Structures are given as structure tokens and as C-alpha cells.
């Protein structure tokens, strides 16, 4: 039996109104990890520490330092219990970081009943429900051997990072619904799961608890604690945040509308004009105008507000729209989406929404939603009203049996950068192994690497296009800087001076993989990127036949946080690892960042591997 997959009301609102990342939002509650007071009593395998390390080459190993802020599980033969939160939840959003040592296994059980799998699944080509981020299968012991497991949902893609790296996991869960007699009337569902910035589940219905629930003995309920599995292997957590949704939502009532078809220059004129049509609706819709263009539409109604407090309103339209609440202007938007926090009293609150459309080439759209501190976004419009245009079929560039090379622009912005940078001479190289990279021909730098599918070319090729391609899959941004650095008065440069760099060419091998040739600081360089033999990491080789003048270095990486893990491995900003046998050292950059430098020597090959 397959699980049902469908679009939920709350996610529909987020997708169509585009409210994600627009500024105002409700804050999540941080689970305190100064000690174990947020959890029910457990065994000594659970503790809080100040730092944690998972040696890259060791199985199921976590090394810790005293302190607080990180929750770790260090099981042994006698102590390997699960841990339960003190709070119970229904609908909930989770946002956390998790570290999986090599070969380790754990899981997060929503309400103690529905498991999201945690596993070292790095580099696995075909993930299953039992891999990192998978929704674990259900279990029926009455069935014949080999048929007892059923349902379960594999991640859409394998977005797992390498063991020992922090991985960000976001989960949005809706609890099952029950009537007054305690009978279940709606199944639980996973609204979404996002791993390392990649959506791996969307709207999966859960017909019952997954295998091995720790709460309820297989029976479902409206509430339950979070449970983290502790008997399978070591695991670490930090930045553990949640937001519960157990409140009563705002309801729209007594909605009526007026339609005006005469030419009105400003929306303030509507009040004095004669309406061409009036009526009532349950929800907001531009279709009440019964026209595609040249109309003004006024909605008046009331919000039933359960509790006084701050509420987040989102307004989207094509054309002009304004929202008044209690007679005060709150939101004003032209052919876009805007949102803002509004303080509302408890009880009936009057609202007015004005929508004005005169541009015939725009498809009508009107959507209004409201979100409370303890309830998810609620649409105050019919879904058809928020559909501005038919979705554009994405244009994806695939990789065949040989490497695929494609030039484009790349919009690039690392967390430390104040402004984004447009790389105008980028060569994207897609490899059959699923490891891809972008090389900046203007400065000989390896810009980004990613694992998964190759490129989304929709921005570049759809309609007029803007020349930009977008990487698909688990991406790591490496650098916007030059990587060949010559010290001047003991300082490292951030850019090439005029005439210090010139790209010459690239040549491809029998698999269409390129080798780059360029000159820098008067020296010829040969530069090549190849997948490692196991297909999990990217190897880079750089060499020159000339003798450097002065202190010339190759910068393997930069970052605000850059540390040596062991003799061969370096961690870059908790995002990826570098492995090298070269004699490297960490120095300060002029802008305060750290740089991992290797001296450039005649006839020597600089070789390092990027692990993410």
C-alpha cells in the first residue's frame, strides 16, 4: 500500500504567495542544551558537551570536550537508552543540526511514533526509507516473512553530507486529527522535510506509526514527546529549535464585496463610486469581479481573532492591492508579494481589501493569508484566486555517459559576503558520477561543487533569459576569490592586479573532462578536477613548470572558521572538509577571514580533495 502524497493548505500558501524569506516572521523556541533539563530522565549515554568531533576515518566514533550547547549520544553495551523531551507536541516545525559519525545510525520520532531516519548515507546512489532523512517504514508482524515491512518513503534525493559534518534538518509535521469521541478523522502527515537546503519530502500522509514506536504502543494520539533514538549509534545535535502549532486560527466571516467597472484613477475614489455588482463570498477571490481586467474590487468583512497578539499577514497580487485592518492601512503591494506583522485585539476585527487591475497583459491574482504565533498560515482566499500563472516547466540540463560542459553566468553569494557576485565567465562541468563543479575562467578559481542533478537552465533559457544557471543538488560554495596569492609586504591580495592573470585554454580527455591552462604571476599553470575513485569527493591537481618569484601560495580554502582536524583533514566553516598531504598552513586574510595556504614550488603538484 502506498502513502498518499498531496499539497497541504499551508504549503500551498507558502508556494503561491512566496512568503518564505520576506523578512517578518515568528521566532522558533530554542531547546536549551546547557544541560539535560529539557528532557525526561535517561541513561548516561546522553550528555551535553561544548565541542564534538567525528574523526573521518573512524567508525561510530565521537570525540567530545567539556562544556554545553551540544547534545550527544555515546552509547555503550549497558547505556543505550532513547531520550524523550519533557514537552509534548501536536503540529510542530523543527530546525536543527545533526552530526553523524561514519557508519552511525539514529532517528527522530515525532510524537514518539513517526520516525525520520538519521544515518550515515553519504554518497549512496539510491537512498531508501532507511537512509538519511527517510520516513521509516511501518511494520506488520502478522504478515509472512519478507512482507512485514510496508509503506515508508525514501528521500527524493540523497542530500546527506559526509560523516563528521554538521547537517541541517528541517521538518514540518502535522499531527493526526481526532473527533470528540476520540476516533481518528485525519491521518498525520509530513508537510515537508528539508536536508542541507534540499527538499527531500513534500506532503506525505502517514497512515499510522512507523516501525518500533516508543510512545503509545502503536496507538496514535493528538500529542506526544519528541524521542531521539539512542541504541543504534553515536550522534550529536546542536541549534535545536522548534515551533508548536496548537492554537486556534483566525477565521474570516461576513465577507461581502463590491465591483466597479468605470475608470477610476485612484483606489480612494472607489468609496464614492456606484458599484456595478455586489455580493457575498466565503473567501476572497478576484473572480468575484467576473472580468479579467479593468475592474476595482472591494471586500469588507471581519476576522474572528481568538487571542490578542501579533499576526503575520501576507498579501499577493498582480495589479494593485491594499489591506486595511480596523480602518488603518497595513499592506500595500503592486504586482508582488508583501507581508507584515499586525497587532490585533481579541474578537471581531473589521478588514477591507481593495484590488485594482488595469494591465491587460497581467494574469489576475489575489491572495491573502494570516499566520499566528501558534497556528500555521491560513488562506483567506480561494486557491484558484492565488494562481497568477501556469507554472513554467523547468529546463534541466542532464549529464550523459561523458562529462557535460556548459558556459553561463552564476549568481554567487557566500554567508560572509555583503553583496552577491555575478560570475560572468563560468564553466559548469557535469560529471556522470554525479559530482559537478563550476570553474571561474576569469580568475582560475573553483567556485562551487555539488552532488546530484546537474543544472537548472530555466533562468537562462526561458523567455528572454538572463544568462544564469543554477546548480541542482547538495551544493557547497567554495570561494569568490582568487586562489593564487602572492604576498606583497607580507599581505595577501584579494584580487589579481591587472596583467597578473590570463586564461589560455582548456583541453578535454576521452571522457570530456577538462584540464585548464592559464598564466598567473608570469607562470604557466595546469589545473584539473576529477572525481575520486569512490565517486564521493572531488580531487584537484594544480602544477606549474616555472619557478615562482617571491612568496607565491595556492589558497585551498578561506573561511571565518577554518581548523585542522588531523594530519590530513581541515574543516572549513563547518560546511565541508579538505583532505591533503601537502604542507599547508592557516594564515589571516586582510578582511579577517582565515586562509589555508600551500606554497607553490616548481615541478611540485598541489593535490587536495574536497569532501562534502
Interatomic CA distance for residues 245 and 268, integer angstroms: 38
Those residues whose C-beta lies under 8 Å from the C-beta of residue 241, and which sit 6 or more positions away, are 28, 29, 30, 31, 94, 95, 96
The yes-or-no verdict on residue 192 having pLDDT over 50 is: yes
Q: Report pLDDT digits (tens) over 71-104.
A: 999 999 999 999 999 999 999 999 999 999 999 9
pLDDT at 3 over 50: no
The residues near 94 (Cβ < 8 Å, ≥ 6 apart) are 108, 169, 170, 171, 172, 173, 226, 240, 241, 242
Same fold yes or no, 251-386 and 396-611: no
In the chain, the percentage of residues whose pLDDT exceeds 90 is: 84
* Average pLDDT score over residue span 26-37: 96
Looking at residues 279-285, what average pLDDT do you find?
Answer: 97
Q: Per-domain residue ranges for the chain? A: 31-245, 251-386, 396-611
pLDDT, mean of residues 307-324:
96
What is the rounded radius of gyration, in angstroms, for the C-alpha atoms of the chain?
A: 28
Q: Is 70 exceeded by the pLDDT of residue 268?
A: no
Rounded-to-integer distance, Cα 478 and Cα 312, Å:
36
**Statement: the pTM of the whole predicted model exceeds 0.85:** yes
SS3 category, 331:
strand
pLDDT at 7 over 90: no
CA dist 536 and 122 (Å) reads 8
Three cell numbers written together for 51: 565541542
Q: pLDDT confidence of 23, banded at 50, 70, 90? A: low
Q: What b/e string do you get for 541-551 counting C-beta neighbours within 10 Å, with b at 16 or more?
A: ebbbeeebeee
With cut-offs at 50, 70 and 90, classify the pLDDT of residue 560.
confident
What does DSSP assign to residue 452? Answer: S
pLDDT for the residue numbered 591: 83
- CATH number among 2.40.30.10, 2.60.120.260, 3.20.20.140, 3.40.50.2300, domain 251-386: 2.60.120.260
- Got the DSSP string for 4-38? PB---HHHHHHHHHT-TTSS--PPPEEPP-SSSTT
Least reliable range by pLDDT among 43-52, 371-380, 386-395, 596-605: 386-395
The predicted-structure confidence for 504-537, as pLDDT tens digits, reads as follows 999 999 999 999 999 999 999 999 999 999 999 9
Give the pLDDT confidence score for residue 414 in this predicted structure.
85
Q: Work out whether the CA dihedral 15, 280, 300, 282 comes out positive or negative.
A: negative
Q: Please determine, for residue 12, whether its predicted confidence score (pLDDT) is greater than 60.
A: no
Q: Select from 1.10.405, 2.70.98, 2.60.40, 3.40.50 the CATH code of 396-611.
A: 2.70.98
Q: Tell me what pLDDT residue 265 has.
A: 62
| 99-105-111-112 Cα dihedral, nearest 10 degrees | -140
What pLDDT, on the 0 to 100 scale, is given for residue 65? 96
Average pLDDT, stretch 418-433? 94
Distance CA(235)–CA(60), nearest Å, equals: 9
Give the Cα-Cα-Cα angle 415, 450, 500 (nearest 5 degrees): 70
Strands (E), 102-176: 105-110, 114-119, 138-139, 149-150, 166-174
Mean pLDDT over each residue of the chain, to the nearest integer: 92
Write out the CATH class of domain 31-245: mainly beta
Q: Give tens-digit pLDDT for 440-482.
A: 999 999 999 999 999 999 999 998 899 999 999 999 999 999 9
Q: What is the mean pLDDT of residues 263-281?
A: 79
Per the model's pLDDT, the better-predicted residue between 415 and 396 turns out to be: 396
Answer yes or no: is pLDDT of 18 > 50.
no
Amino acid at each position: 500500500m502506498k502513502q498518499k502524497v498531496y499539497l497541504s493548505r499551508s504549503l500551498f500558501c507558502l508556494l503561491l504567495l512566496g512568503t518564505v524569506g520576506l523578512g517578518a516572521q515568528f521566532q522558533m523556541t530554542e531547546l536549551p542544551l546547557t544541560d539535560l533539563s529539557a528532557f525526561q530522565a535517561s541513561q548516561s549515554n546522553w550528555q551535553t558537551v561544548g565541542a564534538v568531533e567525528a574523526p573521518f576515518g573512524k567508525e561510530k566514533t565521537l570525540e567530545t570536550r567539556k562544556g554545553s550547547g551540544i547534545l550527544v549520544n555515546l552509547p555503550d553495551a549497558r547505556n543505550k537508552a532513547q531520550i524523550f523531551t519533557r514537552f509534548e507536541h501536536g503540529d510542530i516545525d523543527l530546525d536543527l543540526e545533526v552530526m553523524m559519525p561514519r557508519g552511525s545510525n539514529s532517528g527522530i520520532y515525532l510524537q514518539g511514533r513517526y520516525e525520520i531516519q538519521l544515518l550515515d548515507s553519504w554518497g549512496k546512489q539510491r537512498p531508501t526509507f532507511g537512509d538519511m532523512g527517510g520516513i521509516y517504514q511501518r511494520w506488520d508482524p502478522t504478515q509472512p516473512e519478507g512482507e512485514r515491512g510496508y509503506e515508508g518513503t525514501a528521500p527524493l534525493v540523497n542530500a546527506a553530507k559526509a560523516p563528521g559534518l554538521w547537517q541541517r534538518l528541517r521538518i514540518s509535521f502535522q499531527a493526526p486529527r481526532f473527533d470528540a469521541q476520540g476516533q481518528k478523522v485525519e491521518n498525520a502527515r509530513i508537510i515537508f522535510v528539508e536536508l542541507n537546503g534540499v527538499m527531500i519530502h513534500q506532503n506525505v500522509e502517514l497512515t499510522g506509526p512507523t516501525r518500533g514506536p516508543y510512545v503509545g504502543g502503536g496507538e496514535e494520539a493528538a500529542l506526544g514527546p519528541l524521542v531521539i533514538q539512542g541504541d543504534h549509534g553515536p550522534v550529536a545535535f546542536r541549534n535545536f529549535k522548534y515551533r508548536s502549532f496548537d492554537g486556534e486560527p483566525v477565521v474570516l466571516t461576513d465577507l461581502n464585496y463590491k465591483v466597479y467597472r468605470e475608470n477610476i484613477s485612484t483606489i480612494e475614489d472607489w468609496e464614492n463610486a456606484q458599484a456595478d455588482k455586489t455580493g457575498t463570498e466565503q473567501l476572497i477571490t478576484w473572480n468575484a469581479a467576473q472580468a479579467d481586467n479593468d475592474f476595482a474590487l472591494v471586500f469588507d468583512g471581519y476576522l474572528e481573532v481568538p487571542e490578542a497578539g501579533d499576526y503575520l499577514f501576507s498579501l499577493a497580487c498582480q495589479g494593485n492591492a491594499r489591506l486595511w485592518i480596523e480602518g488603518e492601512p497595513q499592506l500595500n503591494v503592486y504586482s508582488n508579494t508583501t507581508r507584515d506583522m499586525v497587532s490585533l485585539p481579541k474578537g471581531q476585527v473589521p478588514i477591507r481589501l481593495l484590488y485594482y487591475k488595469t494591465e491587460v497583459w497581467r494574469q489576475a491574482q489575489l491572495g491573502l493569508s494570516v499566520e499566528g504565533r501558534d497556528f500555521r498560515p491560513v488562506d483567506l482566499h480561494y486557491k484558484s484566486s492565488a494562481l497568477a500563472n501556469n507554472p513554467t516547466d523547468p529546463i534541466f540540463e542532464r549529464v550523459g555517459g561523458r562529462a557535460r560542459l556548459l558556459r553561463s553566468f552564476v549568481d554567487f553569494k557566500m554567508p560572509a559576503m555583503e553583496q552577491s557576485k555575478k560570475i560572468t565567465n563560468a564553466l559548469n562541468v557535469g560529471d556522470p558520477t554525479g559530482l559537478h563543479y563550476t570553474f571561474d575562467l576569469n580568475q582560475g578559481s573553483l567556485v562551487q561543487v555539488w552532488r546530484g542533478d546537474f543544472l537548472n537552465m530555466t533562468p537562462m533559457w526561458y523567455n528572454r533569459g538572463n544568462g544564469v544557471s543554477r546548480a541542482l543538488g547538495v551544493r557547497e560554495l567554495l570561494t569568490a576569490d582568487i586562489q593564487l596569492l602572492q604576498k606583497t609586504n607580507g599581505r595577501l591580495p584579494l584580487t589579481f592586479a591587472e596583467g597578473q592573470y590570463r586564461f589560455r585554454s582548456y583541453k578535454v580527455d576521452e571522457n570530456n573532462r577538462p584540464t585548464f591552462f592559464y598564466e598567473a604571476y608570469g607562470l604557466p599553470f595546469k589545473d584539473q578536477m576529477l572525481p575520486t575513485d569512490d565517486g564521493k569527493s572531488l580531487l584537484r591537481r594544480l602544477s606549474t613548470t616555472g619557478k615562482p618569484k617571491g612568496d607565491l601560495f595556492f589558497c585551498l580554502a578561506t573561511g571565518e572558521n577554518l581548523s585542522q582536524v588531523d594530519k590530513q583533514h581541515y574543516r572549513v566553516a563547518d560546511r565541508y572538509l579538505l583532505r591533503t598531504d601537502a604542507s599547508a598552513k592557516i594564515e589571516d586574510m586582510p578582511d579577517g577571514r582565515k586562509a589555508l595556504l600551500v606554497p607553490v614550488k616548481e615541478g611540485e603538484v598541489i593535490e587536495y580533495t574536497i569532501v562534502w
